[in-house]
Structures are given as C-alpha cells and as structure tokens.
Chains A and B, each alone.
Chain A
Amino acid sequence: MADAAALWISEHLAERIRAHGAETYPHECCGALLGRDASAVLESDRGKGTLTSSREILQLFPLVNRRDDSPRNRFSVTAEDVRAAEKAAGQQGLEVVGWYHSHPDHPARPSEYDRDHAWPWYSYIIVSVQNGAPLDMTSWRLDDDRAEFSPEGIEIRHRAAV
C-alpha cells in the first residue's frame, strides 16, 4: 500500500529503543510506538495517485514481554497491554502507529513468526542486539496480501520532536 513509506523518529527515542533492547538482553524487549500518521493527508493531497505514507513517532510506551516460556526469541504483548497503549496514546491526541521489539543475537529482519502475527498498517521496528550491544534498527510494514514485509525507511530527526 505504501510505496514510499517513511517513519520519522527523534534521535532520543531511537536511542531509547536501542537502550531497551540492551537492558532486557538476552531477552526480547517490546513496546508501542505512539505518534501521528500523515498518510491520509498525503493521500488527499495527491488525489488518486501513488500512495505515499509518512508517520512520526512522538513517544514510546515500553511494555513487559509476557512470553515467560521463551523470552529469548519471542515476545508477546497482551490485548490488555494493547488497550493500555491505545489509551495512553489517545490521552495525548496520538495513536498507536506501531510496535518495536528486539532480536537478541539475531538480525534486524522479520521472522516468519513475526509475519504470521502481524497486521498491515502498523510499523514494526526491530533492533538487533548482538552480545548485549544494540546494532541495526529497521522498520517494516506487512503487505496487504500478508505474503511479506516491506522495509520502511527510518528517518532520524536530530532535534526534539515537536
């Protein structure tokens, strides 16, 4: 759906995601991305042309990984946690535009398990944490047909988010 998806995030928030991944290593971390999605505006501006999507992360909502059985390679956010994240976003005039999690000692690429448990529209940020040190950070969106994820460019804002 999004031919030119871009996800804006401040340097500070990007660093907090990396730090969360390092903090929970060797377990996976997870959290919600709160922000604004501008794709509707851009779509109306562009009429029926190519869809372009842009969204900005303005706040994080760190969550506890509920997967006690295999937290090194799985994470789980309960529906109650999702509702709490949506409530927190709504109180600030934002919405939950995606989720982040870490891949301890694994590349920052979505797994089949990630794909099976995803919805389109959401941005899925993955940070790779190797030997406790956060490395690559990528973002992905599930395609409409659920067949695969498409990469979403992360644009770092080197100033405080407005």
Chain B
Amino acid sequence: MPVRVMIPSPLRPYAGKRDSAEFNARTVGEALGHLTTEFADLRKHLFTEDGKLRSFVNVYVNDEDIRYLAKENTPTKDGDTISIIPSIAGGGN
C-alpha cells in the first residue's frame, strides 16, 4: 500500500482536479518529487526556483509537521498520509 498525498483545493486545478494521489515513496521528499513529476504545474507553487519548499508551505505526515521530524528526509511507510497546508501571510509594504 503506497503513501497518499492529499492535494489542497487551490492546487487541484494543477493536479487533474484530483484531491489525492498515491505514490510508492520511502521519504516525504520522494513522494513530493513523484507528485511534482506527475503534475509538473504544481511544482512552482510548492517549491522555489532553487528547489526548496516555499516558506509558507507546511507538510505533515499523519498530522506531524515534517519540520519537527527530518524535513523532506522524513521516512514514510505504506499507508501514511501526507498533507500540504499553507500558512497565509502578506502585508502592506
């Protein structure tokens, strides 16, 4: 049983309108790599041009924030669910 990546509403138009996708992956980074390979238009909304996860993009494995685990090297196992949740930020100048 592979890892399931939940796709948030704003990004579904770039993922064939799907709300989730499943991949065989050993780490979070691998899963996100598969996701953005299959749906290339997603990539720029998750990663900066130099390949880093955008600062406002938060990734969870079964509700655990990967920043407090091993970040993108966080290992995954069959049946895990990866969620992508934005922080919302902005401001006047």
Contacts and interface: CB of A to CB of B under 8 A. Distances in A.
Contact of B90 (A70, A79, A111): A111
A121 B41 contact: no
B1 interface: no
A57 to B, nearest CB: 15
A82 B91 contact: no
A79 B9 contact: no
B93 A117 contact: no
A134 interface: no
A82 B87 CA distance: 7
Given A111-B91, A113-B93, A120-B13, 20 more contacts: A70-B91, A72-B92, A73-B91, A73-B93, A76-B87, A76-B89, A77-B87, A77-B88, A77-B89, A78-B87, A79-B87, A110-B90, A111-B93, A114-B90, A117-B87, A119-B10, A120-B45, A121-B10, A121-B12, A146-B45
A30 interface: yes
B18 interface: no
25 contacts: A28-B92, A74-B91, A75-B89, A75-B90, A77-B88, A77-B89, A78-B87, A79-B85, A79-B87, A81-B88, A95-B9, A96-B9, A103-B92, A105-B92, A106-B92, A111-B91, A111-B92, A113-B91, A114-B90, A117-B55, A117-B89, A119-B11, A121-B9, A146-B44, A146-B45
Q: Which of B13, B17, B44 has the most CB of A within 10 A?
A: B13
A119 B45 contact: yes
Interface residues of B, number: 23
Interface in A116-137: 117-122, 124
Interface in A56-72: 67, 70, 72
B27 to A, nearest CB: 21
B79 interface: no
